[in-house]
């Protein structure tokens, strides 16, 4: 194992630095156990396997995983609330749910062992991001059914850090507490971190009057430009971490201090990348939809769960010494992807362009509508006061510049509307960046 040049520690060096062969052997054993478990205890899986003409014993290697059927959000909905649990409810000690923006939320359960695994995995990525027992961890995720706050909370305690269970909202108080309690780590969505940075600026509080050094951001897509913005304005190292309720919550993958993708904890999850349209497994390095099979979860295992998140897996070695594959920042979800005049557009692509133009503030909203038979994309973006109150001619030139950049990158035209500084809604949890009027 190579030592990290920038002083990062490894939480569990044995598991996190396994050789590929050893890892695959472990994955296979755990996969077989998981398949036996769901076959025995979850009628939905048994039925799906039967329909596909496969039983757990037919899976004789990791390559056979691709013969199993996918599990989708729809399967979870049909078995709402507890139909996918693989243990009796009395063994379940915690229940969470996904945000459920459309229809009924998905209910997920954990037994004692699952909570322990979850805690360990969160401790792993927090350590990879540089958090130690000396840190004061300020958790600004909403406590409740959302997995973010509790997940990070127990992981931080496991490391031995001091946890401030602040929860979300009440931005002024958050800032006061960060100042007074000398928080060193901020845990939130990237968009809420931006809300905090904006508010601090308004209050005349610079990063030097806080003690923050690390930001652990996740739960929504964010661009590299957003990372730079947060690092500069908050004076921190900002790292990304990924997870979803159906698979566990946070703790599926997280960045080390090299920030070259999120190490996905392959001793607990098997990732695949598929073509979202055909379901075909794509070769290593391809961009496609992430599919995850959990191999140690007991109460709520998932087999080939379609996350709808679009990413890429990088199997090349990482300088930190961890051997787990690295998952690239997600471009977004297949359901957030906008199809404008037949061209696929992800909000994060637009975010990247806007952040590169001097004068744009990092607050934007995409409004899609239909005029006659034509799709129209409007990009509303906050600009600084100098531009907003500039003479018409200069403003027009600014709009032209943005529209040209958007067109050359996206391959489809977008109208730009400049809006007044501070006029857009600020986010406390996950940001809502798209209004698609075509669906209303
Ligand atoms: O957002 C779990 C989580 C909490 C992850 C805190 C990280 C930190 P859900 O509410 O079920 O769970 O939403 C899961 O959020 O499928 C992705 O689309 C998105 N997502 C989560 N993390 C990231 C990330 C939590 N780092 C859905 N980058 C996932 C991009 C993310 N998208």
8 Å CB contact between 105 and 145: yes
Cβ of 382 less than 6 Å from ligand 1: no
349 and 311 in one domain?
A: no
**1 has a pLDDT exceeding 50:** no
148 and 205 in one domain?
A: yes
What whole-number distance in Å separates Cα of residue 32 and Cα of residue 295? 8
CATH of the domain at 291: 3.40.50.12780
342 and 316 in one domain?
A: no
State the pLDDT confidence band at 440, using cuts at 50, 70 and 90: low
Per cent of the chain over pLDDT 70 is: 97
Distance from residue 98's CA to the centre of ligand 1 (Å):
10
- Single out the residue in 333, 366, 392 at which a domain terminates: 333
Distance from residue 245's CA to the centre of ligand 1 (Å):
8
What whole-number distance in Å separates Cα of residue 340 and Cα of residue 368? 8
What whole-number distance in Å separates Cα of residue 228 and Cα of residue 233? 8
Per-residue pLDDT tens over the stretch 91-113: 999 999 987 656 678 999 999 99
CATH of the domain at 434: 3.30.300.30
State the pLDDT confidence band at 341, using cuts at 50, 70 and 90: confident
Q: 191 to each of 167, 226, 290, 311, how far by Cα in Å?
A: 15, 9, 23, 20
158 and 276 in one domain?
A: yes
Cβ of 192 less than 6 Å from ligand 1: no
Is residue 68 included in any domain, yes or no?
A: no
- What is residue 7's predicted lDDT score, i.e. its pLDDT? 53
Q: In this structure, which residue's CA is closest to atom 13 in ligand 1?
A: 244
Per-residue pLDDT tens over the stretch 301-334: 999 999 999 999 999 999 999 999 999 999 888 8
357 and 218 in one domain?
A: no
Distance from residue 217's CA to the centre of ligand 1 (Å):
10
Is residue 80 included in any domain, yes or no?
A: no
Is residue 122 included in any domain, yes or no?
A: yes
What whole-number distance in Å separates Cα of residue 422 and Cα of residue 84? 44
198 and 278 in one domain?
A: yes
State the pLDDT confidence band at 173, using cuts at 50, 70 and 90: very high
Q: In this structure, which residue's CA is closest to atom 12 in ligand 1?
A: 244
State the pLDDT confidence band at 3, using cuts at 50, 70 and 90: very low
Per-residue pLDDT tens over the stretch 379-420: 999 999 999 988 899 999 999 999 999 999 999 999 999 999
The two structure tokens encoding residue 199 = 């508010």
Least-confidence region, from 114-123, 128-137, 210-219, 347-356: 347-356
Per-residue pLDDT tens over the stretch 183-208: 999 999 999 999 999 999 999 999 99
- What is residue 24's predicted lDDT score, i.e. its pLDDT? 98
284 and 194 in one domain?
A: yes
Domain that holds residue 215: 2-17+110-333
225 and 325 in one domain?
A: yes
Is residue 43 included in any domain, yes or no?
A: no
* Greatest pairwise CA separation for the chain in angstroms: 72
414 and 287 in one domain?
A: no
C-alpha angle with apex 251: 245 to 256, nearest 5 degrees?
Answer: 145
Classify each residue of 228-267 as buried b or exposed e, where b means 16 or more C-beta atoms within 10 Å of its C-beta.
ebbeebbbbbbbbbbbbbbbbbbbbbbbbbbeebbbbbbb
Give how far the C-alpha of residue 413 lies from the chain's centroid of Cα atoms, to the nearest Å: 28
- Single out the residue in 333, 363, 379 at which a domain terminates: 333
349 and 306 in one domain?
A: no
Distance from residue 302's CA to the centre of ligand 1 (Å):
16
The residue-averaged pLDDT of 126-147 equals 97
Is residue 405 included in any domain, yes or no?
A: yes
Is residue 317 included in any domain, yes or no?
A: yes
Per-residue pLDDT tens over the stretch 41-82: 999 999 999 999 999 999 999 999 999 999 999 999 999 999
- What is residue 22's predicted lDDT score, i.e. its pLDDT? 98
Is residue 143 included in any domain, yes or no?
A: yes
The residue-averaged pLDDT of 140-162 equals 97
**210 has a pLDDT exceeding 80:** yes
- Single out the residue in 295, 314, 333 at which a domain terminates: 333
Phi and psi dihedrals of 57, rounded to 5?
-65, -20
Task: Report the 3 state secondary structure along the chain.
Answer: CCCCCCCCCCCCHHHHCCCHHHHHHHHHHHHHHHHHHHHHHCHHHHHHHHHCCCCHHHCCCHHHHHHCCCECHHHHHHCCCCCCCCCCHHHCCEEEECCCCCCCCCEEEECHHHHHHHHHHHHHHHHHCCCCCCCEEEECCCCCCCHHHHHHHHHHHHHCCEEECCCCCCHHHHHHHHHHHCCCEEEECHHHHHHHHHHHHHCCCCHHHCCCCEEEEECCCCCHHHHHHHHHHHCCEEEEEEEECCCCEEEEEEECCCCCCEEECCCCEEEEEECCCCCCECCCCCEEEEEEEECCCCCCCCCCEEEEEEEEEECCCCCCCCCCCEECCCCEECCCCEEECCEEECHHHHHHHHHHCCCEEEEEEEEEEEECCEEEEEEEEEECHHHHCCCHHHHHHHHHHHHHHHHHHHCCCCEEEEECCCCCCCCCCCCCCEEEHHHC
Distance from residue 436's CA to the centre of ligand 1 (Å):
21
Please state the atom number of ligand 1 nearest to the C-alpha of residue 330.
30
Is residue 202 included in any domain, yes or no?
A: yes
268 and 127 in one domain?
A: yes
**Cis before 159? omega within 30:** no
Total number of domains in the chain: 2
What whole-number distance in Å separates Cα of residue 265 and Cα of residue 5? 22
350 and 325 in one domain?
A: no
Cβ of 242 less than 6 Å from ligand 1: yes
Alpha-carbon radius of gyration of the chain: 22
């Amino acid at each position: 194992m190579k030592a990290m040049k920038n002083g990062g520690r490894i939480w569990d060096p044995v598991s996190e630095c396994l050789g590929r062969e050893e890892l695959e052997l472990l994955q296979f054993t755990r996969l077989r156990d998981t398949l036996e478990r769901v076959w025995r205890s979850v009628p939905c899986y048994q039925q799906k396997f039967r329909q596909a003409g496969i039983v757990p014993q037919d899976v004789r290697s990791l390559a056979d995983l691709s013969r199993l059927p996918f599990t989708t959000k729809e399967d979870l909905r049909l078995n709402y609330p507890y139909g996918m649990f693989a243990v009796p409810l009395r063994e379940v000690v915690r229940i969470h749910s996904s945000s459920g923006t459309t229809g009924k939320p998905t209910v997920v359960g954990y037994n004692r062992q699952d909570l322990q695994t979850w805690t360990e995995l969160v401790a792993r990525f927090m350590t990879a991001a540089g958090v130690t027992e000396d840190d004061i961890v300020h958790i600004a995720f909403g406590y409740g059914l959302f997995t973010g706050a509790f997940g990070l909370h127990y992981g931080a305690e496991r490391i031995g850090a001091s946890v401030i269970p602040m929860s979300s909202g009440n931005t002024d108080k958050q800032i006061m507490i960060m100042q007074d309690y000398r928080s060193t780590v901020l845990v939130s969505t990237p968009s809420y971190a931006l809300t905090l940075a904006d508010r601090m600026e308004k209050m005349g509080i610079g990063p030097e009057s806080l003690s923050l050094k690390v930001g652990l951001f996740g739960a929504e897509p964010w661009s590299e430009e957003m990372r730079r913005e947060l690092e500069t304005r908050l004076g921190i190292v900002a790292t990304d971490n990924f997870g979803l309720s159906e698979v566990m919550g946070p703790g599926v993958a997280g960045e080390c201090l090299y920030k070259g993708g999120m190490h996905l904890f392959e001793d607990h999850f098997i990732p695949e990348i598929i073509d979202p349209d055909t379901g075909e497994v794509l070769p290593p390095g391809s961009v496609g939809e992430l599919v995850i099979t959990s191999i140690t979860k007991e109460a709520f295992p998932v087999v080939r769960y379609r996350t709808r998140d679009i990413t890429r897996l990088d199997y090349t070695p990482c300088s930190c010494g961890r051997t787990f594959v690295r998952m690239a920042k997600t471009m977004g979800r297949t359901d957030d992807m906008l199809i404008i005049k037949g061209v696929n557009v992800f909000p994060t692509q637009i975010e990247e362009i806007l952040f590169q133009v001097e004068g744009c503030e990092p607050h934007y909203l995409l409004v899609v509508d239909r005029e006659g038979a034509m799709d129209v994309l409007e990009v509303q973006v906050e600009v600084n006061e100098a531009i907003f109150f500039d003479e018409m001619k200069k403003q027009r030139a600014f709009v032209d510049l943005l529209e040209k950049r958007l067109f050359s990158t996206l391959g489809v035209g977008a109208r730009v509307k400049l809006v007044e500084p501070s006029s857009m809604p600020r986010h406390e949890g996950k940001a809502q960046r798209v209004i698609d009027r075509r669906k209303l």
